[in-house]
Structure formats: C-alpha cells, structure tokens
Chains A and B, each alone.
Chain A
Amino acid sequence: NAGVTQTPKFRVLKTGQSMTLLCAQDMNHEYMYWYRQDPGMGLRLIHYSVGEGTTAKGEVPDGYNVSRLKKQNFLLGLESAAPSQTSVYFCASSPGLAGDYNEQFFGPGTRLTVL
C-alpha cells in the first residue's frame, strides 16, 4: 500500500497563477484533510472532507478551494496564488473522526513557493 501520496512535491508559482494539488489515499479512509505548515506555527487546517462529495472549511480556507469527487482523492486548488500562500502543504486521511480513529496518516507534503 502506498498510503497517502501527494502531487507535485515541489512547485514555484508567480503571483496570480493557479494550480491544483492532488492527494490520493489507498486505505479506504472516509476523512481527508488539507493542512498548511509554516515556520514557528502549528499545522493549520485549510479544508476537510467527511466523505465522497462533501467538503467543509477549516481554520484558514480563504484563497483555497477543494473537491472530493472520488473517495480516494482530495484536490486543493489555488485560483490566484499570493506570496502569503508560500508554505508546505500536507494532505492527511483518517478512518474516523472520534478517538483514536482520528489517527491521521500524512502524505509527504508539497513545498510551494509563490513569487
């Protein structure tokens, strides 16, 4: 099993460009998450999904959109990139929300730089 995979691993964008980050998991998990990680700060939840076809906003959703058309895939879109979106983006999945079912499995991350 590959676990959680993310594409691409690195990307450099110019301000105003758009891009989509792809996350895939092969563990049949219901719940998927997109986080960003910035120096000196904890992981911050951008958007999450509790099942195929559903999405919800997290702590820092502005400037991002998501889609979960298939259970195994969770896409994160940046419509018009800004330098403030320079960060490391992690996708995660978990079998459930409650208790130790919320153990989240993380992808390797995408390092995004916006110039």
Chain B
Amino acid sequence: GQNIDQPTEMTATEGAIVQINCTYQTSGFNGLFWYQQHAGEAPTFLSYNVLDGLEEKGRFSSFLSRSKGYSYLLLKELQMKDSASYLCAVLDSNYQLIWGAGTKLIIKP
C-alpha cells in the first residue's frame, strides 16, 4: 500500500528553526510537495522537489532523498504566523497526489 508518515504535532519557539520530516512509500514517484494549511483554511503550496537535494525559498527550505524515501521541510526564523499544519504529498506513478495526515506546528513566544 501507499503510505506517508509525518509527526502529528511539533512545538517550537518564535525565532528558532524547526525541521518537519516526511517519509514515504508509494507506487512510483513523480515529485514531492509541501503545503501549508492554517486552521479552517485551504492548503496553499510551499514547495516542490523532484530531484535529490535542497531547495531554498526564503525562510523555507525543502530537502529530498529519493533513495531513502525521505523529505524534510526546514523553517527558519519562526514567526507566530507560521503556526499551521504542514502537509507532505507525493505524486505517484498515476500522477495522483498521496497526502500525509499533516504536522501541526505550534509556535510559542
């Protein structure tokens, strides 16, 4: 079966750095997405990785290792507005997105 694992919840301090991990086992791989979802709102796109390595986009970076079935999202200089759920999703061999349950990130002052 297809499976995506993420921690359910993480807590971090404002101004710090946090790393949210995602491991996956899917039928085929055509890329990995990270989305942000604030409570009661729609998911919004953060990043896309298809090749191994680190993609940096401002305060957010995303890393992929296809051989290990592993990705992480790195958030730097945390702000209170970063409190949200972060969703990992893999594009499988049928070009359908398989979604993890999401990681709820709580930022404390």
Contacts and interface: CB of A to CB of B under 8 A. Distances in A.
Contacts of A42: 4, 87, 89, 98-102
Given A42-B4, A43-B87, A100 B48 contact: yes
Contact of B45 (A58, A59, A104, A108): A104
Contact of A102 (B31, B41, B42, B44): B31
A40 B42 contact: no
Contact of A108 (B42, B89, B91, B98): B42
Nearest to B8: A40
B48 to A, nearest CB: 5
Main secondary structure of the interface of A (DSSP, over half): loop
Interface residues of B, number: 23
B65 interface: no
A97 interface: yes
Interface in A7-23: none
Contacts of B96: 45, 48, 58-59
Contacts of B97: 43, 45, 102, 104
Interface in A41-85: 41-45, 48, 58-59
Given A100-B48, A103-B48, A109-B42, A43 B99 contact: yes
Interface of B: 4, 8, 30-31, 33, 41-45, 48, 50, 87, 89, 91, 95-102
Given A98-B30, A103-B45, A108-B41, 16 more contacts: A42-B87, A42-B100, A43-B43, A43-B89, A43-B97, A43-B99, A48-B96, A58-B96, A90-B42, A97-B95, A99-B31, A99-B91, A102-B30, A102-B33, A106-B44, A109-B42
